[in-house]
Amino acid sequence: MKCNLIFSSILFLASFAFSPLQAKDSEGISFYKAGFQKQAKVLLFQELKSNSTNSAETCYFLGNVYFGESKNDSALYYYKKGLSLDAESALNNIGLAKLQIKSNAVQAKEAIENVLKGKNKKNVDLILEAGRAYLENGELLGANDYLERAQKITRKYAPVFVLAGDIFESKKDAGQACSMYEQAILFDANCREAYVKYARAYRDVNTALAVEMLGRLKTQEPNFSLANKELADLYYAKNDFDNAAKYYGEYIASGNYDTDDLKQYAMTLFLNKDYNKSLEIAQMGLKLNAQDPAFNRLAMYNNVELKKFDDATVAADNFFNKSKDAQFSYFDYTYNGSILAEKKKYPEAIASFEKAIEADTTKTELLSTISGLYEQAGDPVNAIKSYEKYVGNVSKPSADLLVELGKKYYSYANTDKILPNIKTSSLLKADSLFAKVAEMEPDNYRGNCWRARANSNLDPEATKGLAKPFYEKTVEICLAKNDPRYNPVLIECYSYLGFYHLVAGEKSKSASEYETSKGYWNKILKIEPGNSTALKALEGLSGSKKKK
């Protein structure tokens, strides 16, 4: 039973008039009271269609559903329909009055008082509905007046405490609201709405207590599947997707679900990284509606995460081109861009990522991805432009970003068939970027090492020694680390310095230059005894000595 009277004495029950709502509520009404209006709406329509003896009451609660959706014309229709089925329906007269509380308060009050005359004077359920009419219009004083009238008749009735709790909840007083809901459960252990409203009131205040109360409801009514939905919604709101997926799964397994529930479940599974199960649920939804954008979106997302790019391509086509009333987001374009990039459709991938930035202009980091795609497409110029734009959107670019941009200029300078003047300007730009890195990281070798490489390319014959000071500084930094991990860098430095002094010796015929060169090659052999370049250089230096 839902919110039935639990009293210890038959005599006490006889002390006031029974109300029309004391009988067991229909499932639709019960769902409505528990706060599941979407599910209640479906059931109420089914109940109305079945021509039950309580059709007027069903119309009243359908009117309430529409009132809650701010569809007053539809609410008016069902209240009037209820009166056409039962001209004396007190509930539907209260419903009509509810529609006038804001626009004609005096007339609404008179209409409600007319309902509560005579035989209905002590009808607690009708008095409480009058209170709700005011509460749902945001009129707390009026709601409280009718609550107090009901309390004078009885304080041992669960719905009285539920309304009291709802009034406290409207004041954002979760503690007092939940105290009232607990009292309601004390008088009626089957009062679904009290459990659910308690959990909702404490959802953001004390999640543990909310979960505990819903657990009590599940124990009390194991077949009430909406308790699982409520738990799932609670955990979803807390980003606990593991538990959310568990309870959505139990709710869906009950068979009492619609396409919106499937969407929520599929999304929860996706966020919980259960891509196979999420895809399965999305495909279930697509069987019900192949044009649903949410299911097509999730099919695309999941197939990308599962690296099923052929299936993802089909899903993307269905989503972007065949879904009904689809609205596209940043994530939609990024997932589509990933598919196109995997398929090596670089221009299309770039266009998709650019659309993603248009959809969310704060996501400028995608310019880095676009830059990489231009590189893969063999377009270094646009790769540089995109990355420069990316760096330009960062208030304080890090050394990592500057190194990466410098490398792009360096790589472009070393592409085939590049004009000499463009090669030089690119290397100079790279050098200036690496110089900034060296200033930012005085104890890190990479700024000086990359400066050395750029200058080495500007002076490939090492006749000017442009790279020399930067390789020497790199050696100084790496030796200070005293770490064998830097040996490959030291070999690179010693190779250049050995070559530079060899060239200088050939030019000047200076024995000291040859000796200096020899020293660098021997340093390489100490690190790597079999280094062929060093061995050949030393062999050449020996030959130079003999000639001399």
Separation CA 195–CA 217 (nearest Å): 6
Residue 371 lies in a domain: no
Residue 105 lies in a domain: yes
Q: Among residues of the chain, what percentage have pLDDT more than 90?
A: 89
Residue 1 in this model has a pLDDT that exceeds 70: no
Separation CA 506–CA 149 (nearest Å): 111
Residue 162 lies in a domain: no
pLDDT digits (tens, 9 = 90+) for 87-135: 999 999 999 999 999 999 999 999 999 999 999 999 999 999 999 999 9
Residue 139 in this model has a pLDDT that exceeds 90: yes
User: Region 39-54: what's the mean pLDDT?
Assistant: 86
| CATH number for position 72 | 1.25.40.10
Model confidence at 508, in pLDDT bands (50, 70, 90)? confident
pLDDT at 544: 58
Q: Average per-residue pLDDT in the chain?
A: 93
Determine the structural domain holding residue 72 and report its residue range.
Answer: 17-149
pLDDT at 54: 81
Nearest residue to 299 (alpha-carbon basis) of 314, 284, 282: 282
* CA angle 473–479–485, rounded 5-degree value: 115
How far from 14 is each of 24, 154, 155, 296, CA to CA, in Å?
18, 12, 15, 60
Separation CA 248–CA 371 (nearest Å): 41
pLDDT digits (tens, 9 = 90+) for 198-251: 999 999 889 999 999 999 999 999 989 999 999 999 999 999 999 999 999 999
Residue 93 lies in a domain: yes
Model confidence at 2, in pLDDT bands (50, 70, 90)? very low
Residue 41 lies in a domain: yes
How far from 314 is each of 189, 267, 311, CA to CA, in Å?
52, 20, 5
pLDDT digits (tens, 9 = 90+) for 418-455: 999 999 999 999 999 999 999 999 999 999 999 999 99
Separation CA 494–CA 40 (nearest Å): 80
Residue 436 lies in a domain: no
Query: pTM, whole model, 2 decimals?
Result: 0.81
Residue 142 lies in a domain: yes
Token couple for 289: 């509606």
Separation CA 201–CA 204 (nearest Å): 7
Model confidence at 53, in pLDDT bands (50, 70, 90)? low
Place of tokens 């005894």: 529
Residue 478 lies in a domain: no
pLDDT at 91: 97
Q: Among residues of the chain, what percentage have pLDDT more than 70?
A: 94
Number of independent structural domains in the chain:
1
Residue 379 in this model has a pLDDT that exceeds 90: yes
